Structures are given as C-alpha cells and as structure tokens.
Amino acid sequence: MEKNIIVYIETVDNSPVNVSLEALTLAKKISKENNKQVIAVLIGENLDGVTKKCFEYGADEVLYLEESRKELEAVGNALIGAKEKYNPSVIFLGSTINGKDLANIVASEMKTPAFIDVVALKYENNKYLMTLPMYGGNILKEVTFEGDKTLVIAVRSGVCKKEVFEGNSGEVKKEKATEKNLFTKIVDIVQEISESVNLEEAEVIVAGGRGMGSKENFELVKQLAEVCGGVVGATRPATEDEWIPRSHQVGQSGKIVAPKLYIACGISGATQHVSGIMGSNYIVAINKDEDAPIFDIADVGIVGNVMDIIPLMIEEIKKIKS
C-alpha cells in the first residue's frame, strides 16, 4: 500500500463544510487508482455524527481527535499529530478562511510549501499537478512539487464534485489530541452581523452582471433568486459599482461555485467569471448580444434584454408555483 492521503474535515456547527467533502471525494478517486488509503481527520468536540458522512464521501478510516480548544493553533497541532501518525503523501484541506490559515500553520511547522486556492488537481506519474491562480489571479498556472515531503494542499470549492460511495465504510479511531501550550487564545467569539452569503453551498444561483445597468435594476436579479429559492451572485463590475456586496462576487477572485442551476443575467462570460462557475450542472444565460462568450458555455441561452426577460421568468415561475 502506498502512502496515505489525509483530508482535514472542517466543520461548522458540527456539520462538515461542502469543500471538505469535495476534497474527500477527490482523495478517494486518487486513492482508488493509486492504491492509497484515505484518512479523514476530524478535530473538535461532539463530532461523532460527522463520521458517517466521512465514509459516505470516501474515507477509508476516520481519525477523530478530541480537542476542546478552538484556536487554529490547537487544530493545527492536532493535524500535525495526525501527519506523524500516518505519514501521508498529502494533507488536503478546503481553501476556506480558516482552511487557508491552517494550511500555512501546518506547512510551516512541517517545513514544506502550502499550495493554497488550488482550482484543479490531477495525480499523474506519482506527482500532484495543481492549477493555481497567480499574479493576483491574472493567470492560472499548473504547478507541481518535486521531492518526498508531505504536501499541504488547500483546494477551492468546485475542485471536484462530491460523490457518495455507496457501502463505503471503515474504522473510526477516537483519540485525545496531543496537548501543547498555545501562543494564541480566543477570548470571545462574536456572532458576525454583516451579511454572509453561502454561495459555495447553494443549489441555485441567480447572478447579475454589468448588463443589469443599475443598482435599481439589480433588484430584479434578487427577485428572480427569491422565486427560484436561490442565492444571488454577481460579477466583479456589479460589486465594484456597489450594486451588491463583495461577498456575492463569483469568479477567479471571488467564490468558486458549483450549483445545480446557474442563471447568468447580463454577464458577458469573461474568463475570470467563467472559471468560477464551471462546476455548475446547468447554466442559463440571458444576454442581448448573441455573440457574448457566455453562450459558449451555457446549456440554454436567451438572447434578449434582461429588463424584459427577467420579469417574464419571475411571472412564469410564480404561476407554476401557485
């Protein structure tokens, strides 16, 4: 059996985050072809309920390290403990805000590079080939790493579609995380009051671009999202013009999404936007320019003015629902 693959399963409110399950599926696919073992690592408290999900999405074994401290330093220390136990070829994490920090903590402790924001990954000839945004996201470059060190790779959501492996099961090892004095201390956790938007987990996204024309018109995107039971996305120009907060931006320098349905309204289809939506199952595009590049990747294209089409769609969906 070749070296193991460790996947750190980040949890929020005792549930695994989507990108961790995507990383698990990715690891399982690599392991099946290369005779590796996938170890899902859970760190925290009250996570027994998560172990089942780990097996469903591809873990061969679950290492549950009990750690009551929430500091990333404590989580990182536990993850390093897991690394020492299994000597993996790679540690996968989700490229979330915490995941990125954790990847850097772990990699610096292990004196190995951390690859962050990986948007695509292949395993060929015993090497991990990773596609990464570089130069402030202006280019995407495929990189690899020569050597025998354990790699630390934080993958962006959409890197792999999560998949259930029916009947997959394994052993759960529950242990206490090794004690270590921490330099950091969380004194208080404050509930975030600013608007938060979970585009990465959304099944339906209705996104608007510069073609919406104004902040007032952008309300139509929100209304369509509401009747579809979806979440609002946007292109960079729409967020730069403050039609919608930056947290809604989809694309290379925004969020990478993988919904079942993505409706693009007044969006040209620039590479930097499209690279963030390629994981979508079904793309509907509305644009007045029949040559807009977005139509090259859309499953359904509607040539027309968003100000005419969106109200019609809202009306029809309401009729179907009533």
Ligand X SMILES: Cc1cc2nc3c(=O)[nH]c(=O)nc-3n(C[C@H](O)[C@H](O)[C@H](O)COP(=O)(O)OP(=O)(O)OC[C@H]3O[C@@H](n4cnc5c(N)ncnc54)[C@H](O)[C@@H]3O)c2cc1C
Residues that bind ligand X (CB under 6 A): 136-138, 209-211, 235-238, 249-254, 266-268, 270, 272-273, 276, 286-289, 292, 305-307
Closest approach of Cβ 242 to ligand X, in Å? 14
Nearest-approach distance from CB 213 to ligand X, in angstroms: 6
Instruction: Please state the closest distance from residue 199 (CB atom) to ligand X, in A.
Output: 12
Please say whether the beta carbons of 157 and 18 come within 8 A.
yes
By residue count, the chain amounts to 322
Among residues 108 and 305, whose Cβ is nearest to ligand X?
305
Shorter beta-carbon distance to ligand X: residue 136 or 147: 136
Give the list of residues 6+ apart from residue 291 with CB closer than 8 angstroms, or none: none
Tokens of 224: 């369509």
* Residue linked to tokens 């509607």: 302
- DSSP-assigned letter for residue 95: -
Enumerate residues 6+ apart whose C-beta is below 8 A from 44. Answer: 11, 14, 66, 67, 70, 75
Could you tell me where the beta strands, DSSP code E, fall in 20-85?
38-44, 61-66
φ/ψ (deg, to 5) at 166: -55, 135
Rg (CA), the chain: 21
94 close to 17: Cβ distance less than 8 angstroms: yes
**Which residue's CB is nearer to ligand X, number 15 or number 305?**
305
Least separation in angstroms between CB 134 and ligand X: 10
Shortest Cβ 122–ligand X spacing (Å): 23
Residue 30 vs 277, nearer CB to ligand X: 277
Question: 21 or 256, CB closer to ligand X?
Answer: 256
Tell me the C-alpha to C-alpha distance, in Å, between residue 205 and each of 208, 249, 256, 306: 10, 12, 12, 16
We find the least distance from the C-beta atom of residue 222 to ligand X, in angstroms, to be: 16
Closest CB to ligand X among 27 and 220?
220
Contact predicate 146/178, CB 8 Å: no
Least spacing, CB of residue 117 vs ligand X, in Å: 12
Taking the least distance from each CB to ligand X, the nearer of 122 and 222 is 222
Cα 184 to Cα 13, 68, 70, 108, 283: the distances in Å are: 22, 14, 10, 16, 45
